[in-house]
Amino acid sequence: ASGKILFAQQGLGHQTVHIAGNVSTSPDGERFIWCAEPFGNHGSAHTSSGVVRVTSLGTPNGSSLALGSGYPRWSPDGSRISFGRNSITIWNPATGERDAKLQGIDNAEMTAGDWHPDGRLAALCFSNGQTRVYDTKSGDIQYETEERTSRVAQVAWTPNGAGVAVSYVDGVVQILNGSDGKQLLEIKQDEKSNDQMRWSNSGELLVTVDVKNVVRIWETDNGTLHSTKLEGDHVQGINTLMFSPDDRYLVCGVRDAPCRMWDLKIGDDVFRGHGPMDVGRADFSDDGKQLSLLTRTDNATYVYDVRTRKRLSKTPGLLPWRGRDQAQYDWSPQANLVACASYGLAVHFWN
């Protein structure tokens, strides 16, 4: 309500830091997790050597607890945190103890991971092309796929948890049965895959992006190509993909270009080239009536009316983006607090 900074947290003492992993809130709004590492020590999203920290918002100045290293994520219900590099630790913030350890594969780098929607399973993927699904309570392996010559680029459970999509660098996307890992469908792209992939909320559509930044929308019951977007080599990169709650609209943040929002019912870009430039994050309101866009050019947040496409507001950011390093932010569930982390800075907690 006041717009004031409540407090700030330094990442690693007095060293210059950048944020290596998610800044995300627990569902109860009491804790944020984030990861910082020394400037110049750039790990990948899943191999960061930075320190994972849990900040409690109910204590003076937000007391912070250091857990370990690696990319941090909340379980879907917010009761546990996963972090690690090639092996994953499941940590319980309520007890302050480790619940389980998901053992990785020797001589293989972990390249992707995702929690099952109900939190009981987790899928981890590796550079040898294997996918393992673990029980997150016991740490036991439920099943694993065979090795492949192509490494895994991304993995994502279906919204209902019945299946899991695995995207390989060679352009193949497999949809597996979530309970036993048997292949249900295979999709072959014309080009190699990058690490962008998103399910629609209904699970009926899957969006993939190849290395030439062509966005393809697939029907997942039969693998039919629903539509192709952003064809051409002029596209510099894809920052983010987001479906509206009713799956009618797909927002695509394009690097160094205007944001696109396709009405999938009519197949048209409703922004018509006039969306904000270089959008790094997109969020729809729960009712789907408003859309917020965070830009990489000036770190400002724009809010639009989805139906009319009129801009409702623009909120200036802390600092402009620097290079290609993206700041991270997240709202508390009560919508009264936002945590914002920028390149080279501490995490700031705003009222």
pLDDT at position 44 over 50: no
By DSSP bridging, strand 51-56 and strand 24-25 are: unpaired
More confident call, 192 vs 39: 192
The token pair at 166 is 């695995």
**Cβ density class 275-284: b for 16+ within 10 Å, e for less:** bbebbbbbbb
For 150, the token pair is 């192509």
pTM greater than 0.75: yes
- The whole-number pLDDT of residue 170 equals 93
Q: What is the pLDDT of residues 49-85, one digit of tens each?
A: 556 777 776 664 555 566 766 777 889 888 898 888 7
- Give the pLDDT of residue 64: 59
Of the pLDDT bands very low, low, confident and very high (cuts 50, 70, 90), residue 291 is very high
Express each pLDDT in 207-263 by its tens digit: 998 888 888 999 999 888 888 877 655 567 888 899 999 999 999 988 888 899 999
Q: Tell me the per-residue pLDDT of 266-277, one tens digit each, with 9 for 90 and over.
A: 888 888 778 888
Separation of alpha carbons 307 and 261, rounded Å: 12
Provide the pLDDT for residue 47: 42
Average of pLDDT values for 109-124? 94
**pLDDT at residue 347 above 80?**
no
The pLDDT of residue 48: 46
The pLDDT value given to residue 96 = 79
Q: What are phi and psi of 168, to 5 degrees?
A: -105, 155
Q: What is the mean pLDDT of the chain?
A: 79
* pLDDT top residue among 60 and 305: 305
Q: Is the CB of residue 169 less than 8 Å from the CB of residue 193?
A: yes
Contact 205, 217 (CB under 8 A): yes
